[in-house]
Amino acid sequence: MDNYKMLIGGEWVEGAGKIEVINPATEKAFATVEKGTKENVDAAVAAAKAAFPAWSQTPIEERQAKLAELSAAVAKNAEKLARLLTQEQGKPLAEAMGEMAWTEGYLGHFATLKVENRVIQDDEDFFIEMRRKPLGVVAGILPWNFPVLVACWKIAPALIAGNTIVLKPAPTTPVATLALGEICSEIFPPGVVNIITDENDLGPYLTTHPDVAKVGFTGSTATGKKIMASASDTLKRLTLELGGNDAGIVLDDVNVPETAQKIFDAAFLNCGQVCLAIKRAYVHDSIYDEMCAELSKIAENTVTDDGLKQGTNIGPIQNREQYEKVKGFLDDVRAAGKIAAGGQVEDREGFFIRPTIVRDVKEGDDIVDKEQFGPVLPLIRFTDIDDVVARANASEYGLGGSVWSSDVKRATDVAERIESGSVWVNQHINIGPHIPMAGFKQSGIGVEQSLEGLDEYTQVQVLNVAKR
């Protein structure tokens, strides 16, 4: 069984013991990583702080070239990284390879960007310029659903802006990120990229560390609130990409079979473990039964199995805690007789649950109000547009949403009324490195991706020069 050490200051470092990494398809350990300590955190932050002056002064063209080199290296090592990812995360190998392709693309795009200064005034009296300066040490705290991709969502803007970074992967998915660290250690100067691993106990210490200037976090709203509180003493800069309960509104004029497949794909990607996945589908009453039947047919024909097996469409839920949470949702709706398809908890090793379609539910039911983050899609009836918009917007979340109709203008008019950071028409989860991603309400603070996301990793400084 391979053991992966932490990357600190360009060296591979041991901790205070070993942590087993479980394959969710087998419930057996396939690797170990180091159990980090507060001393390891201090060392990682110190290494990043020591590397910051030289890295921040490195010409932007060189920083861009290094990021482009990382993009090419991810592509070269995609299969190795993807296999590690499938073993620790559970997603089918094809989806893991897709994550590598997305990672390569994000890195490649950010390698073309640079922080831009803006001249505000330049006349005979004053030269005034708004500059964007790097912050210093960034802490990047990663989720377990897309660990490699999200790691690079932090690495790319942080390093292009001139910062250095300390990454902390989720305890259940650290291996592929550490393998990515091996690649980073061959490209970047020591201390520019550091990775620590833990048993979910070092996050508060890292986010309160006085030498950390910014925290970039992707994960649950509950954890985001804790990070926001812990960062308050030093007023650290924050980017928080948090939970969602995305609503898909399906109008009465859609092609039901075609739309059903698209909605299924947007709801069950990565076993439903996607912050931007459709978590609740509002379907017009006139097509409700037909849509339930189509989605149920797709669910019943979907292959749920080990992600390394050819032909697998959906893998296991990533960890036991989330598995038990989803089972709890299913117990409630099963008792009410509202499962239209799926819902079986596989009698086998691994955290497998068949993709589940739930019907005849409403607001007030946990399956609708709460983020399931698993292979479950509730369908809710509606008849009135104003009513369904109000119901979709009533959530405390506002990450994404979508509207589906054969009439694009009609759907767009409804989409403009949805309170979420991203709203799609006749599609869902169309994201990219050039497209800003942000959340309304309790779905986040700040912006990820794009030039706007890059600016989040900088500090505004105004240079004001009197010419006479």
Query: Could you give the CA distance from residue 278 to residue 330 in angstroms, rounded to a whole number?
Result: 17
Contact 282, 382 (CB under 8 A): yes
Structure confidence at residue 37 (pLDDT): 98
**Whether residues 447 and 308 fall in one domain:** no
**Whether residues 234 and 282 fall in one domain:** no
Structure confidence at residue 384 (pLDDT): 98
Structure confidence at residue 346 (pLDDT): 81
Query: Mind listing the pLDDT tens digit for each residue in 35-45?
Result: 999 999 999 99
**Whether residues 234 and 283 fall in one domain:** no
The 10 Å Cβ neighbour count of residue 148 is 26
Does the annotation count 241 as an active-site position? yes
The token duo for 93 is 């190998």
Query: Mind listing the pLDDT tens digit for each residue in 188-206?
Result: 999 999 999 999 999 999 9
Q: How many domains does the chain have?
A: 2
**Whether residues 144 and 229 fall in one domain:** yes
Phi, psi of 4 (to 5 degrees): -115, 125
**Whether residues 408 and 462 fall in one domain:** no
Contact 385, 410 (CB under 8 A): no
Does the annotation count 292 as an active-site position? no
**Whether residues 287 and 219 fall in one domain:** no
Contacts of 433 (CB under 8 A, 6+ apart): 105, 106, 109, 110, 156, 449, 450
Q: What is the CATH number of the domain that holds 455?
A: 3.40.605.10
**Whether residues 251 and 323 fall in one domain:** yes
Q: Which of 241, 294, 371, 448 is catalytic?
A: 241
pLDDT profile of the chain (468 residues), mean per 10: 96 97 98 98 98 98 98 98 98 98 98 96 97 98 98 98 98 98 98 97 96 97 95 95 97 98 98 98 98 98 97 98 96 91 91 97 95 97 98 97 98 98 98 97 97 97 96
Residue 275 lies in a domain: yes
Query: Could you give the CA distance from residue 308 to residue 310 in angstroms, rounded to a whole number?
Result: 6
Q: What is the CATH number of the domain that holds 293?
A: 3.40.309.10
**Whether residues 238 and 255 fall in one domain:** no
Structure confidence at residue 335 (pLDDT): 86
Structure confidence at residue 34 (pLDDT): 98
In 390-420, which positions are buried (b, 16+ CB within 10 angstroms) versus exposed (e)? ebbbebebbbbbbbbbeeeeebeebbebbbb
**Whether residues 345 and 307 fall in one domain:** yes
**Whether residues 129 and 173 fall in one domain:** yes
Q: Which of 184, 271, 275, 292 is catalytic?
A: 275
| pTM attached to this predicted model | 0.96
Structure confidence at residue 336 (pLDDT): 85
The 10 Å Cβ neighbour count of residue 350 is 19
**Whether residues 402 and 449 fall in one domain:** no
**Whether residues 302 and 424 fall in one domain:** yes
Residue 304 lies in a domain: yes
Residue 437 lies in a domain: no
Structure confidence at residue 161 (pLDDT): 98
Domain that holds residue 449: 2-242+443-466
Residue 329 lies in a domain: yes
